[in-house]
Chains A and B, each alone.
Chain A
Amino acid sequence: MVPGLPAKKKTAEELNLKSFEVEEVSRDAMEIKIPANRWADAASHWGIAKEAAAVFNKKLAFRAPKIVNLPRNRGFLNVKVEDPRLCPRYLALYFALPQKIGKSPVWMQKTLKACGLRPINAVVDIMNYVMLEIGQPLHAFDASKIDKGIVVRRAKKGEVIKTIDDLRFVLTKQDLLIADHKKPLALAGIKGGAGSEVLSGTKAIIVEAANFDSVNIYRTSRRLNLSTDASARFSHGQSPELVEWGANRAAVLLRDICAARLKDSVDLYPKKQARKLLRFDLERFNRLTGFKLDGKTAWGLLKKLGFSLIKEGLIETPALRLDIEIFEDLAEEAVRLYGFDKIKSAPPIVALIPGESEEMVILKEKIRRALISIGFSETYNSSFAAESDSDAVALENPISRDKAFLRTSLIPGLEKNIKDNLRFFENIKIFEIGKTFSGERENWRLGMATRLESENSFRELKGAAEKLLKMLGLTDYLFVPEDKDLRIESSHQVLGYLAASRRGSALEIDLDKLLKLVEAEVEYLPLSPYPAIERDISMYVDVNLRFNEILEAVNSLKIPHLFDADLIDYYKDENLKQGKVSLTFRLVFQSASRTLKDEEVNREVDRIIKVLSGKFGVKPR
């Protein structure tokens, strides 16, 4: 179609850069990915030839034929279109076949096979060949099987059609049928029906070249889950102007190959496709692209693609280019043909307004930095989950049963990570930051989990949580026991829960709540120039006594200069008396104004022991 093109590989490369993605080049075929907006004009050999001619600046040698002295409305054909909105154009041609239908010529069969179609007989092959070449789907009926005439109508509710491949479909009023006065002949724009197909003995045929409403075809094809070459083309939208090109080409081929005689034709095309004129503003084009093209160059590019210049700045689009609707569409045509690579990159000139990150972005980054610094590694888990609690969001179309819901918590994912990693690691400390979903509300969460071989996983995790909250600048937080878990609270809000177990513990914190509570700034506390005095006190306490109660009792004494009280040892030994545990506190005394004396510190320690013994019956060791 385009003489003088370079070798296949070079052609493919250039088309790739200026037109469409060429996916594969084999010996006698090229697989080209046509974008969804270009099926109307480019999903055909002719369409690609037009592109190639423009890209390589060559002449298109292929001209679709025009029929002279077309017989029209001679009475062989009777066609009625009930709703022209669903079928804007219906062109039917009546041919007499003087000879038995044989095979199509070898060249045609080769082309069909290379494009993945199976040759059947000369008439059917010509229909398919024209669709590939011109882009217009065609269908041939055996004229003798048609009762009185053709009606293009909506199906009746529950009406059944059997297609040529013997599949039965039950239809609705939304579906469009090609029918005669008794029975359905074809599912319009999708597939022919059984009973009216062309066989080798067929004496006369009716060739249909039609245009259908794209949305209607698309819906029917989706609902019936029936997709064909024709339905794909009609679903994308075709120009009614293409109908004529396809019909004419088929007529020529039928004459040449089957010696068919065209006896009659009907063309129902009540509302002709309007001409489309668009302004092409050169100054705007250059501003959009960053080019500095002159008018001659820019209009020259469009002309190569079949656009015509009506007068300066006014462009008429080719009839088949349904995708061209606005100025920007024209701009794309010119810029791609000229070459994106010819655009010279240029730094934007803008007001220097500082860029900012959303607060949540910053918080997440801080949390990540803090957690890796205390030895936690980060995992990413799937947003999908199997189980549903009552608030879980269910998917309409899950990909599998174990992914039928959205996750409501990060903890199951982290627990699975721990389980999977136990084969390779003894000590695991991990976290994930991600969205959870509950009742269509989504929520940023932090999940953390620990599993330590030798140490207490729970205390490790609690300590990490405290460290993290402090590093984030949150000072007033509480851990409140609730059943077997710890509730993490701040400013009377529940931030999350820590689920404790010796072997492996996990926690989850609501980051949307946390974000509102953290104050970013940390204030400096003056360092005391005077030495600190440390005293360790060890004691046996009842196993049911909570550490927190002891600590509160100590704090309530308001001991002067008591700077810090911390648990440094906790154990339950087999050798110890039943129901007792051993605790060791470290008390740190320090004054900001003087060096403390040993005696005064000892006095306070004695006071603490006395109070604890009295209150809880603890025994110092």
Chain B
Amino acid sequence: MELEDIKNRALAEIESALDKSELDKSRVKYLGRKNGEITVLLKSLPDLPLEERRESGPLVQRLKKEIEEAIDFKEKELLSASDQEAIDLTLPGRKIKVGHLHPLTRTEDEVRRIFSSLNFSVIEGPEIETEYYNFDALNIPENHPAREMWDTFWLKPTSGRQRTVRDRRLMTDDQRQTTATSRQSSVISRKLLRTHTSPVQVRYMETHQPPFQIIVPGRVFRYEATDASHEINFYQVEGLMVGKDVSLANFKFIIEEFLKKFFAGKKIEFRYRPSYFPFVEPGLEVDIRLTAGGRQATCLRQGYGKAKQGTRSKGKWLELMGAGMVHPRVFEAAHYNPRDLQGFAFGLGLDRLAMIKYNIPDIRMFYSGDLRFIEQF
């Protein structure tokens, strides 16, 4: 009982000590060498009968340790409290160094996240393509100006081996007959850098059966002069959804859901215009118009000079993507029966999406490696 009482009093006194001198008083009171209450108790132990001594000895020792620890702890607390007065709270926080994802990665992540939530799978395809997948299988005729819509980088054949690669799908009936009769003739599918992500449509359909819905993000290449809105390598995201009765109305739903989520916080309007891409029919173009809603895009850091804020994206119609219903000849190229199936496809410019989202005036900044730019994201 007595021990319990001492403990309660001692801990309460220590806890309520306001400064070091008060704490010292408690120390002397309980642990003082001469008359400290615990010291006295310990001194009296040898006078107790053996039984009692065995029982209370460890208890007193434990109490002594407990009080010592409490005093030490309080002492540190008081010390650090007095320290605090010396800290200048207006000092700036330390700059914490972390790594930064590239803005195109951030944009792609966001696109993938939204489409994944709409149950799309994420697929990739090769950057070196054959003429067959990039053009022929997509119903883009050879020897027609339509093919000039895609300025192409062609690869030099690396060895004789490639020259003899034959792709029977490419041959006309005439040519097939020639190959049957003479071993000489061969049709080569020339290699190129893909000009769009659309070849993955056919590649995917060759090995999968509908229904399915996929997106295909990836780097693409165009042979053209670079300027603020053109790069020779850039990124696209292809979309493809195929089923028994996937319709244009479904396309509208998916793409509007996506864009509303992607530009969350802004008011967004949609516009659809007829357009021509040989691998879709009907073909159309999707434009959007953004008006700042609750949240406005802000520059993350004040730079020199004014950022071209909103000159591009506010109140103007922005061309965003080409789209349409998959052309029956594309289904045929993938050995599907077009009579049983329909579906939509679209191609989004990822760089353009990022430029609109973050107010970036020049596409070349993405490929500059400039950390002053990248570390804003």
B342, A395: Cβ atoms closer than 8 Å = no
**Bound Cα distance A281, B237 (Å):** 33
Residue A440 is within 8 A (CB to CB) of chain B in the complex = yes
Contacts of B342 in A (CB 8 A): 287-288
Confirm or deny: A520 has a beta carbon within 8 angstroms of a beta carbon on chain B.
no
How far does the Cβ of A307 sit from chain B's closest Cβ, in whole Å?
15
A384 at the interface (CB under 8 A from B): yes
B284–A232 CB distance below 8 A: no
Chain A's nearest CB lies how many Å from the CB of B162? 7
Give Cα A236–Cα B191 distance, bound, in whole angstroms.
25
Instruction: Judge whether A290 and B248 touch: CB under 8 Å.
Output: yes
Q: Contact at B367–A357, with CB atoms within 8 Å?
A: no
Is the CB of A128 closer than 8 A to any CB of chain B? no
At the interface, yes or no: B158 with Cβ under 8 Å from chain A?
A: yes
Contacts of B18 in A (CB 8 A): none
Please name all residues of chain B whose beta carbon is closer than 8 Å to the beta carbon of A346 when the two chains form the complex.
Answer: 247, 249-250, 252-253
B98 → A minimal CB distance (Å): 6
Q: Shortest CB–CB separation between residue B188 and chain A, in angstroms? A: 13
A291 to B250, CA, bound (A): 11
Q: How far is the CA of A37 from the CA of B282 in the complex (A)?
A: 13
Contact with A along B360-377 (1 / 0, CB 8 A): 000000111111101100
Residues in A neighbouring B109, C-beta threshold 8 A: 365
User: Which residues from 246 to 297 on chain B have a C-beta closer than 8 Å to any C-beta of chain A?
Assistant: 246-250, 252-254, 256, 271-276, 278, 281-285
Name A442's contact: one of B127, B153, B232 (CB within 8 Å). Answer: B127
Please report which residues of chain B, range 305-350, place their CB below 8 angstroms from some CB of chain A when the two chains form the complex.
325, 327-328, 342
- The answer to whether A425 touches B328 (Cβ under 8 A) is no
Residue B121 lies at the interface, judged by CB distance under 8 Å to chain A: yes
Interface size range on B against A: 35 or more
Does A380 make an interface contact (CB < 8 A)?
yes
List, in ascending order, chain B residues with CB within 8 A of A398's CB.
153
CB distance from A64 to the nearest CB of B (A): 26
A70-78, A108-116, A250-258, A366-374 - the one binding chain B: A366-374
Residue in A closest to B123 when the chains form the complex, CB atoms: A358
Chain A residues, CB < 8 A from B274: 17-20, 332, 336, 340
- Indicate if the CB atoms of A343 and B248 lie closer than 8 Å: yes
Scan residues 400-446 of chain A and give those whose CB is less than 8 A from a CB of chain B.
Answer: 403, 406, 413, 416-417, 420-421, 424-425, 427-430, 434-435, 437, 439-440, 442
Contact (Cβ within 8 A) A435 B127: yes
Cβ B233 vs Cβ A384 within 8 A: yes
Complex CA–CA separation, A398 to B156 (angstroms): 10
Q: A585 vs B325: C-alpha distance in the bound complex, in angstroms?
A: 67
Residues of chain A lying within 8 A (CB to CB) of residue B253: 345-348
Tell me if B98 and A375 are in contact (CB < 8 A): yes
Asked if B176 is at the interface (CB within 8 A of a chain A CB), the reply is no
Once the chains bind, are B154 and A395 in contact (CB under 8 Å)?
Answer: yes
Which stretch (B3-11, B54-62, B77-85, B139-147) binds chain A?
Answer: B139-147
Beyond A290-B248, A352-B119, A420-B369, is A328–B281 a contact (Cβ under 8 Å)?
A: yes
Chain B residue at minimum C-beta to C-beta distance from A394 = B156
Smallest beta-carbon distance A342→chain B, Å: 10
Q: How far is the CB of A50 from chain B (nearest CB, A)?
A: 15
Q: Which residue of A lies closest to B226 (CB)?
A: A399
Residues of chain A within 8 A of B149, CB atoms compared? 36
Q: Once the chains are docked, how many angstroms separate the CA of A406 from the CA of B127?
A: 11
A328 touching B122, Cβ below 8 Å = no
Interface flag for A218 (CB, 8 Å): yes
Assess the B283–A332 pair: CB atoms within 8 A.
yes
User: Are B98 and A372 in contact, CB atoms less than 8 angstroms apart?
Assistant: yes
Nearest Cβ on chain B to A222's Cβ, whole angstroms? 9
A379 CB within 8 Å of chain B: yes
Stretch at the interface among B23-31, B36-44, B64-72, B99-107: B99-107
A344 x B374 contact (CB < 8 A)? no
CB < 8 Å neighbour of A393 from B155, B241, B368: B155
Q: Which residues of B contact A413 (CB under 8 A)?
A: 369
Q: Which residues of B contact A328 (CB under 8 A)?
A: 281-282, 325, 327-328
> What residue of chain A has the Cβ atom nearest to residue B116's Cβ?
A355
Q: Flag if A377 contacts B213 (CB, 8 Å).
A: no
- A20, A341, A348 interface centre (most CB from chain B within 10 Å): A348
B158:A439 contact, CB within 8 angstroms? yes
- A345 CB contacts on chain B under 8 angstroms: 249-250, 252-253, 256
In the complex, besides A218-B145, A340-B273, A354-B119, 19 extra interface pairs with C-beta distance below 8 angstroms are A17-B273, A35-B276, A235-B144, A289-B247, A336-B284, A341-B271, A344-B249, A346-B250, A346-B253, A351-B211, A374-B99, A378-B101, A380-B369, A383-B127, A393-B128, A396-B154, A420-B369, A420-B370, A421-B371
The 9 closest A-B pairs by CB, nearest first: A290-B249, A35-B276, A332-B282, A372-B99, A340-B272, A417-B369, A345-B252, A396-B154, A36-B146
User: Residues of A with Cβ closer than 8 Å to B?
Assistant: 16-21, 35-38, 214-215, 218-219, 232, 235-237, 287-291, 326, 328-329, 331-332, 335-336, 340-341, 343-348, 350-358, 360-361, 365, 368, 371-384, 393-399, 403, 406, 413, 416-417, 420-421, 424-425, 427-430, 434-435, 437, 439-440, 442
Write 9 A-B pairs (CB below 8 A) sorted by A numbering. Answer: A218-B143, A287-B245, A288-B248, A348-B213, A350-B211, A356-B121, A368-B105, A397-B223, A440-B162
Query: B-side interface residues toward A, CB under 8 Å?
Result: 97-102, 104-105, 109, 112, 115-116, 118-124, 126-128, 143-146, 148-149, 153-156, 158, 162, 191, 193, 211-213, 219, 221, 223, 232-233, 241, 243, 245-250, 252-254, 256, 271-276, 278, 281-285, 325, 327-328, 342, 366-372, 374-375
